[in-house]
Amino acid sequence: MPDSSKKKSMRLSFKGEAKKKHKPRSTSSSGGPSSKADGKRKRSPESDAEEYGGDEQAWVPAESAIDVNGPCFLFQELQDPSSSKPIPYTLQFNSTLQSIVPISIAPPDLGNQQILLTGEEGGEEAGAMIAAIEVSPTHVHQVWVANRVAGSTTWSFKSGAEGRFIGADKHGAIHAESEARGPQEGWEIEPIRSGAGGLAVKSAVHGRYLTLGTVAGGKTVLRADADRAEECAWQVRVQWKYRHQARQEARAKMEVSSSGLMKRYDPAAMQAQGGMVMGGGNKPRSAEILLEMRAKKKSDRYAK
């Protein structure tokens, strides 16, 4: 007798329809069904999440313009007359005045926590944690969302809390009132090779660099009227997740372009095409190949 314990499928079947084969489920070493976590996942060669404790939202330095993507914050160091050490200033959006105010961000006093983290048990991971503490934003208005304009080398910086874009007029005055991106809200990012490195942010319209300066009374202001990139170095921090994503996209574009170039100048394809032109010759000549292509496209009336 047929086994009545097996449930009959209620799915309709048709004559000639191929039966679906069920693959047996593999079991793990513990005896249960294996999961994706049991297998080895392929890691990207550019992945460096382990250096930051595996935290995808850790603040990491942007080493090039390609890394500037998603939430970020910028800071620049200014020399303090009363101290031998420079003081870092970051850009904070003032929602009341609808403007950008440079704010000093002194490293926090870790005290005993620093001794605990830098002990033998901390190691390299502790050093990464301390570095992250020193450069993390302290307020939501210090975070800006960087976005690259498609098909160009221009970036925009929008306040993550208020949605206002950073812009500059022809006199170098900075404003953050526009909710839409226009020509004045476009910026170009250039790497600085000399000194401590960093990135320079230049107005895409007026060609002047974004920098901090001191006016009468000792007030620190933000301007976009500098001419030399070396004097306007910004340290940019982005979240690891978005930096990794930007690097993967850039690498994929390079692979596509390189593969297309190889197909275009493939010796085998040129040999085959040359054989058609010359009637099976072993050494194709590029002049005859180009002449044949122009005749097919009818781009030249003399190519007949």
Q: Is 122 helix (H, G, I), strand (E, B) or coil?
A: coil
Q: Please calculate the CA angle 281-287-292 and round it to the nearest 5 degrees.
A: 80
Q: What is the pLDDT of residues 167-187, one digit of tens each?
A: 999 999 999 999 999 999 999
Which tokens is 98 given?
């609808």
pLDDT higher than threshold 80 for residue 244: yes
Average pLDDT, the chain: 75
Tokens of 96: 């009341």
Burial of 272 from C-beta contacts in 10 A (0-12 / 13-18 / 19+): exposed
The structure tokens listed for 264 are: 């275009």
Q: Which of the residue ranges 119-123, 165-169, 181-185, 266-270 would you say has the lowest mean pLDDT?
A: 119-123
Which distant-in-sequence residues (6+ apart) come within 8 Å of 166 by Cβ? 91, 100, 144, 156, 157, 158, 174, 176, 185, 187
Does 235 have pLDDT greater than 90? yes
Average pLDDT over residues 18-28: 63
Q: What are the structural domains of the chain?
A: 50-242 (2.80.10.50), 249-297 (no CATH)
| 220 contact partners, CB below 8 Å, separation of at least 6 | 78, 89, 102, 212, 213, 214
Side chain identity at 111, as an amino acid letter?
G
Check pLDDT > 80 for residue 59.
yes
Element (H, E) at 300: none
Q: For residue 214, list its beta bridge partners.
A: 220
Which tens digits make up the pLDDT trace of 29-45? 555 554 444 444 444 55
Closest C-alpha to 244, from 42, 49, 40: 49
